[in-house]
């Protein structure tokens, strides 16, 4: 495996010695390959992937993870076969209708990040309902990235800041990393500590480019439908064994832990 307003967005990366990651992101990959290996249709693979989502959400909540961000549908996924995209949208809508009450009953807060304008009005309506229902929950924060791309996120943030400057609301010299980050999706969340990718691929595929600047990367050959609570535990345990330097030397890290 290879690897001055106070807010969560202004938190430094997770310091060495603090074991559990606060924020875990997952690139859920391998549904189609899982289905093909079994002679099944691609949609059957995506349905099996939903079961893995349930298992990982449950284990993340049990482990006390603060934020879990799942890459459900990228801005590039529209290029997939039309029938597959249509089936994925149907699954997304079904999940919004059937799963949100369970999340709410377990104290989980749901947010959806990405460009919603491409989704049907029905999907957009149910996203709003889900976020409103779970808004005040204080357990795990579950973030679903849908029609999301890291480059889109950064360009969108730059555009918003440019508009504020043009309207005289902000001086260009006032733009620093914290100001910029607050315009991004997840701008109020802690930085990502751990990014997991399934299926053996070793790239981040335009996912949360800014937010993963200091993330530890964990790659597993497991296809997403086979990734369960035990596999999640293995990723967390691997993270806890790593030494995170953030530009410091080994000696400095050892001195901080003394």
Q: Is 197 annotated as a binding residue?
A: yes
Q: Say which of 18, 29, 147, 238 is annotated catalytic.
A: 29
Place of tokens 């997403």: 224
For the chain, state the CA radius of gyration.
Answer: 19
Q: Is 76 annotated as a binding residue?
A: yes
Q: Is 122 annotated as a binding residue?
A: no
Do 144 and 74 contact (CB within 8 A), yes or no? Answer: no
Q: Is 31 annotated as a binding residue?
A: yes
Q: Is 154 annotated as a binding residue?
A: no
Catalytic residue check, 115: no
Q: Is 147 annotated as a binding residue?
A: no
Catalytic residue check, 29: yes
Q: Is 17 annotated as a binding residue?
A: no
Q: Is 58 annotated as a binding residue?
A: no
Q: Is 33 annotated as a binding residue?
A: yes
Q: Is 29 annotated as a binding residue?
A: yes
Residue 241: phi and psi, rounded to 5, are -85, -10
Reduced 3-state DSSP string for the chain: CCCCCCCHHHCCCCCCCCCCCCEEEEECCCHHHHHHHCCCCHHHHHHHHHHHHHHHHHHHHHHCCCEEEEEEEECCHHHCCHHHHHHHHHHHHHHHHHCHHHHHHCCCEEEEECCHHHCCHHHHHHHHHHHHHHCCCCCCEEEEEEEECHHHHHHHHHHHHHHHHHCCCCCHHHCCHHHHHCCCCCCCCCCCCEEEECCCCCCCCCCCCCCCCCCEEEECCCCHHHCCHHHHHHHHHHHHHCCCCCCCCHHHHHHHHC
Q: Is 30 annotated as a binding residue?
A: yes
Q: Say which of 77, 106, 137, 156 is annotated catalytic.
A: 77
Binding-site residues, in ranges, read 29-34, 46, 74-76, 78, 80, 197, 203-205, 216
Binding-site residues for Mg(2+), in ranges, read 29, 216
Residues catalogued as catalytic: 29, 77
Binding-site residues for substrate, in ranges, read 30-34, 46, 74-76, 78, 80, 197, 203-205
């Amino acid at each position: 495996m290879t690897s001055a307003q106070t807010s969560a967005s202004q938190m430094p990366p997770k310091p060495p010695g603090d074991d559990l990651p606060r924020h875990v992101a997952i690139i859920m990959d391998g549904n189609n390959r899982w289905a093909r290996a079994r002679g099944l249709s691609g949609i059957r693979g995506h349905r099996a992937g939903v079961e893995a989502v349930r298992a990982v959400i449950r284990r993340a909540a049990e482990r006390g993870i603060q934020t879990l961000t799942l890459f459900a549908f990228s801005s590039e996924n529209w290029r997939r076969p039309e029938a597959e995209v249509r089936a994925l949208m149907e699954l997304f809508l079904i999940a919004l209708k059937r799963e949100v009450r369970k999340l709410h009953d377990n104290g989980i807060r749901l947010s959806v990040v990405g460009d919603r304008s491409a989704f049907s009005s029905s999907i957009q309506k149910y996203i709003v309902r889900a976020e409103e229902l779970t808004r005040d929950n204080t357990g795990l924060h579950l973030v679903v990235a849908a029609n999301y791309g890291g480059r889109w996120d950064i360009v969108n943030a730059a555009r918003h800041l440019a508009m504020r400057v043009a309207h005289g609301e902000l001086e260009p010299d006032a733009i620093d990393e914290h100001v910029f980050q607050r315009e991004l999706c997840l701008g109020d969340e802690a930085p990502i500590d751990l990014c997991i990718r399934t299926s053996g691929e070793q790239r981040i595929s335009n996912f949360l480019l800014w937010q993963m600047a200091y993330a530890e990367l964990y790659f597993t050959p497991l296809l997403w439908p086979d990734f369960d609570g035990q596999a999640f535990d293995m990723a967390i345990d691997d993270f806890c064994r790593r030494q995170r330097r953030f530009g410091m030397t080994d000696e400095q890290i050892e001195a901080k832990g003394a």
